[in-house]
Amino acid sequence: MDNIDIIEGADDAEIARFLNHYLGACLAASDQPIAISVPGGSTPFPIFEALIRTDLDWSRITVWPGDDRIVPEDHAASNTGKIRALLEPAGATVVSLTVMEQVPHFALVWLGMGADGHIASLFPNTDPRVDDPAQLRRLTPDPLPPEAPFDRITLTIPSLLNSDALMFVIRGEDKRAVFDAATHGGHDLPVARLLGAASQKVTCFT
């Protein structure tokens, strides 16, 4: 896959600089607002914290969680609540996912990945399809992760692919091995299905 650029050993500050440059260029290219999708979990938040210290015009950026646990936003497991608390004071608009949302074209989709190859909340048991007619799905991971035993709502593969660029931050040798295998057809896990259908630039920070 010649559309994938892997950047080794990137720290949070380097990833924040990449995002500031990329999103700043997207904003400069048009006077229209842009939409991005971002992951939850622990990895993104130090990067967000570095990013909001830059000169990025968040007032022109709408932020979509790639997925969320179906819990109230003030629940400790809510991705949306944590993203909103950090990015809305900087000026961003943060979307709450519902199955009725009309998903936009994204300037950037930033994804994490589990050691089981899941992306967003598209776990292997959910059999995500690259031709899924739905933009969002409510689903139940199996097995339920013990740290977050909740049903999920998630963007589907077609929604994730409706983007100008994809970005991953992959931490840990086990996840890196799964990602590398996905890039050359070594398995059929959700991340491999996404990458196999992606024609846009994919940047992976490790």
pLDDT over threshold 90, residue 101: no
Which residues are within 8 A (CB) of 133 and not within 5 positions of it... i.e. 6 or more apart?
A: none
The residue length of the chain stands at 206
| Cβ contact 3:30 at 8 Å | no
Any idea which residue has 């991005």 for tokens? 36
Which helix (H) or strand (E) segment holds residue 4: the answer is strand 4-7
Domain that holds residue 94: 4-205
The model's pLDDT over 115-171, given as tens digits with 9 standing for 90+, comes to 999 999 999 999 999 999 999 999 998 888 888 899 999 999 999 999 999 999 999
pLDDT over threshold 80, residue 1: no
The model's pLDDT over 18-56, given as tens digits with 9 standing for 90+, comes to 999 999 999 999 999 999 999 988 899 999 999 999 999
Radius of gyration of the chain (CA): 16
CATH number where 88 lies? 3.40.50.1360
Q: Structural domain tally of the chain? A: 1
